[in-house]
Amino acid sequence: MGAIGLAMDLLLGGLLIATIVLAVRLHRKLQGLRGGHDELRLLVEGLNEATRRAQAGIIELRMAAEASSARLGHQVETARKATDELSLLVASADNLADRLARAGSPAPKPADPGRPAADPAILRALKDIR
C-alpha cells in the first residue's frame, strides 16, 4: 500500500495546489469587484450632491422669476395708466382742433406780420395725418 498511498497523497496535494491557485484568482477578482463597488458608491454620492445643487438653483431661479414677474406687472400697469392718460390728451387735442377749425376767425390777424395765418384746410390736413 505504500505506492498507492503515495500516489493518493500526490493526487491530493495536486488538487490542493489547484484549489489554492483558484482561490487566489477568485480573491483578486473579488478585490476588483469591491473597488468597482466603491467607485459606484462615490459616483452615486456625487450625483446626489449635483441633484441637491440643481434643486437649490431651481428654487433660486423660481424666486427670481417671481420677482421679475412682479416688477413686469407693475411696469405694465404703469404703461396702461400712461396709455389711458395719452388717450385722454389725444381726445382733448382732437376736440380742441375741431373747435379751432369750426370757430375759424373771419379775418385772422397774424401776430407776426411776416408769418401767414393758419389755414383751416391745413389744420384739417394735420388732424387727418394724425
> What is the mean pLDDT, run by run of 10 residues, along the chain of 130 residues?
88 95 94 85 93 96 94 94 92 87 62 61 73
Overall pTM > 0.85:
no
Burial 85-103 (b: 16+ CB within 10 A, else e): eeeeeeeeeeeeeeeebee
Say how far apart CA 35 and CA 46 lie, in whole Å: 17
Instruction: Pull the grid cell for residue 14.
Output: 495536486
Say how far apart CA 97 and CA 130 lie, in whole Å: 12
Say how far apart CA 111 and CA 120 lie, in whole Å: 17
Question: Cell 496535494 sits at which residue?
Answer: 13
DSSP assignment of 93-119 equals HHHHHHHHHHH--SS---SSTTSPPPP
pLDDT at 1: 67
pLDDT at 6: 92
Amino acid code (one letter) for 118: A
